Amino acid sequence: MAEEAAKYSKKQVLWGLVAIFAVYGTVAYSVQTLTIARPKITADLDGLSLYAWSVSIPALVMALVTVIFGKLSDMYGRRLILMIALSASLAGTVLSALSPTFVFLIVASAIAAVGAGAMMPLVFAVVGDLFPPTERAKWVGLLNIPLGVFTLTGPALGGFIVDSLNWRYLFWLAVPLLVLCLVTVPMGVPSMANRDKSRKIDLKGCFWMALAASSSILAFSFAGTTFPWLSTPILGLLLLSVVCWVVFVRVETRAGEPILDPIVLRNRSFSTVALATFFSSFGTMGMMMYFPMFLQGVQGISTLQSGFITTPYGVLTAFMGVPAGYAIARTGRFKWMFVAGYGLLVAAMFALILFGAGTPVAWSVAVAVLAGLGYGVIPTINTVVVQNAVPMRLMGVAMGAIFFFLNIGSAISPAILGSTMNVAYARALEQSLPPELKVTADARILEAIDDPQVLLSAPAMEDLRKVLDGKTSGGEPLFDRTLAAVRGSLEAGVRAIFWIGAAMTLLSFLIVATIPGKTRGGEE
């Protein structure tokens, strides 16, 4: 592998770095600016009823294309596949900016996701092409710099553009960035010199993987919300998913050019990283999605202040990969850092279980820092371990597969966590709600209380106050008792999520503890 990477001149390597930094920076810009703007976009296009689909459909597309495009890049070269991915992203971005309806925006986002889902793993695969194993860790770590920059500036930039101009400008500003990438990638990313035209695309594998992944994600997305967990549609989708995965594995073992090579799945280092990545997504989703809800809903902290509290997590997650990469490049050791990173993440998740309405803000900041320090080193180590464990000819497949497990976990975990919170919240609310409320409040108010988001909505809170104004329960104002019941029930719901996140993260820690201390690449 070292000889393969050494054939590129310093000029080629320099332009290659320019290209991949541009691509990764563009992806980071889109993620960080559009996340903050999504609620405003949804409101403008009257798409609240389809909000979940605007997240799940692009996530499903990204999960599928990571493996497929990774394999295609091994067959036809990173340059060609990156150009196709950038073109799809450009088309989807332009269509998103022009979207007249929310449904149109979802379709446009799915087209853009074809590019975004391929661009991230291909960037890291290019690093593996350009550098020998001893130098990869350093550059994988340095790729976190553009991510860190947009983690710091992206939300503020996105909010400013939405408030001062229009959310469509966020997409239009991405267009010149994508054009820049389309210029730099042909200049810097190496092409495949000896392309074997006899190699065939594994269409059967693509079909069965798409069907298996789609049914899995749809089942977990619908379960507990649209349909009960044990309903016929959910059980049917889960059964279909299991059957399709079994067929997919059988097809791959017989395929001449498998889309997900069994050699990769049988590699111990890869399988360890993949499983840990999937399970840890439950903990990181709990931190990203429900820790801010805890701060704002349970503790009554403002959106701005909760943003300051959680900022260390985002910043450290982005920047810790830089020193981690340098440390691995210098010493060649990664296992202690891997175990320590997951250990800190486990400690942070179990600490959240102990939090309550009266927990000091300083402890929240400390947990955010602890989680950021732990999780920040993990993506860099994941990339280095996987790249050094597989043959160069499977680099694209391996990187795509790791992002596949990451995206599948990111798509499934919110559905399971959300369903868990709803059940725990409803159970706690039924036990703590003042009985007088059912007599006093109308159906609209009772329905509003069934959703913990009432704590975060000023109009809903004001409506509740007006209805309950002057009424008492057990000698206390009925509004105060109702509010305390809702707040306490939300605390119970979020704590259930933190328990799941902590348990899954602990499982990831135990899995990572078994990883070999050294990785060994395969033959060329």
Task: Give DSSP secondary structure letters for 268-326.
Answer: HHHHHHHHHHHHHHHHHHIIIIIHHHIIIIIS---HHHHHHHHHHHHHHHHHTHHHHHH
On the question of pLDDT at 341 being above 90, the answer is yes
Least reliable range by pLDDT among 200-204, 291-295, 453-457, 495-499: 453-457
The 10s digit of each residue's pLDDT in 231-257 is: 999 999 999 999 999 999 899 888 888
Q: How far apart are CA 222 and CA 225, in angstroms?
A: 6
Residue 414 carries which side chain, given as an amino acid letter? P
Q: Are residues 151 and 250 in the same domain?
A: no
Q: Are residues 59 and 165 in the same domain?
A: yes
Q: Are residues 96 and 216 in the same domain?
A: no
- For residue 350, what pLDDT band results from cuts at 50, 70 and 90? very high
Long-range own/partner contacts, residues 89-95 (CB < 8 A, 24 or more apart): 89/114, 89/115, 89/116, 89/119, 89/178, 90/115, 90/175, 90/178, 90/179, 90/182, 93/30, 93/171, 93/174, 93/175, 93/178, 94/171, 94/175
278 inside domain: no
Whether the Cβ atoms of residue 181 and residue 30 lie closer than 8 Å to each other = no
108 inside domain: yes
On the question of pLDDT at 524 being above 60, the answer is no
On the question of pLDDT at 142 being above 50, the answer is yes
Q: What percent of the chain has pLDDT over 90?
A: 27
Whether the Cβ atoms of residue 131 and residue 9 lie closer than 8 Å to each other = no
3-state secondary structure 36-105: HHHHHHHHHCCCHHHHHHHHHHHHHHHHHHHHHHHHHHHHHCHHHHHHHHHHHHHHHHHHHHCCCCHHHH
Name residues whose C-beta falls within 8 Å of residue 88's C-beta, 6 or more positions apart in sequence: 111, 112, 114, 115, 118
- For residue 23, what pLDDT band results from cuts at 50, 70 and 90? very high
Average pLDDT rounded to a whole number, residues 274-303? 85
Give the pTM. 0.79
Chain centroid to CA 83: how far? Answer: 24
- For residue 71, what pLDDT band results from cuts at 50, 70 and 90? confident
518 inside domain: no
Q: Are residues 243 and 106 in the same domain?
A: no
Q: Are residues 150 and 235 in the same domain?
A: no
Residue 1 carries which side chain, given as an amino acid letter? M
The 10s digit of each residue's pLDDT in 354-366 is: 999 889 999 999 9
Domain of 31, CATH number, reads 1.20.1250.20
The mean of the pLDDT values for the chain is: 83
Q: How far apart are CA 301 and CA 477, in angstroms?
A: 23
Whether the Cβ atoms of residue 452 and residue 493 lie closer than 8 Å to each other = yes
Q: Are residues 19 and 160 in the same domain?
A: yes
Number of Cβ within 10 Å of residue 230's Cβ equals 8
Provide the pLDDT for residue 517: 66
On the question of pLDDT at 512 being above 70, the answer is yes
Q: Are residues 149 and 215 in the same domain?
A: no
Q: Are residues 141 and 218 in the same domain?
A: no
Q: Are residues 167 and 210 in the same domain?
A: no
Of 204-208, 318-322, 365-369, 431-435, which has the strongest mean pLDDT?
365-369
Element (H, E) at 476: strand 476-477
Residue 84 carries which side chain, given as an amino acid letter? I
Provide the pLDDT for residue 2: 40
477 φ/ψ angles, rounded to the nearest 5 degrees: -55, 130
The 10s digit of each residue's pLDDT in 177-236 is: 999 999 999 988 887 655 555 667 788 888 998 898 888 888 887 777 678 888 999 999
Q: Are residues 46 and 132 in the same domain?
A: yes
397 inside domain: no
229 inside domain: yes
Token readout for 270 is: 């890869």
Of 133-147, 192-206, 281-295, 489-503, which has the strongest mean pLDDT?
489-503
Strand-pairing partners, residue 476, are 473
The structural domain count of the chain equals: 3
400 inside domain: no
Domain extent, residue 489, equals 424-494
Q: For helices 102-130 and 78-97, what crossing angle results, to 10°?
A: 160
Q: Are residues 5 and 51 in the same domain?
A: yes
* Domain C-terminal end among 163, 187, 211: 187
Provide the pLDDT for residue 442: 67
- Higher local confidence (pLDDT), 483 or 517: 483
Provide the pLDDT for residue 198: 61
Provide the pLDDT for residue 48: 61
Least reliable range by pLDDT among 91-100, 189-198, 211-220, 505-514: 189-198
On the question of pLDDT at 112 being above 90, the answer is yes
- Tokens 């703590």 map to which residue? 432
Token readout for 385 is: 């371990």
Specify the pairing of strand 472-473 against strand 476-477.
Answer: antiparallel
453 inside domain: yes
DSSP 390: S
Q: For helices 321-331 and 378-389, what crossing angle results, to 10°?
A: 40
DSSP 223: B
Provide the pLDDT for residue 355: 94
Whether the Cβ atoms of residue 374 and residue 341 lie closer than 8 Å to each other = yes
- Closest of 425, 512, 435 to residue 473, by C-alpha: 435
Of 39-43, 172-176, 478-482, which has the strongest mean pLDDT?
172-176
Average pLDDT rounded to a whole number, residues 369-387? 90
362 inside domain: no
Query: Would you call 1 helix, strand, or coil by DSSP?
Result: coil
Q: How far apart are CA 226 and CA 53, in angstroms?
A: 12
Average pLDDT rounded to a whole number, residues 154-172? 83
On the question of pLDDT at 394 being above 70, the answer is yes
- For residue 401, what pLDDT band results from cuts at 50, 70 and 90? confident
Q: Are residues 224 and 101 in the same domain?
A: no
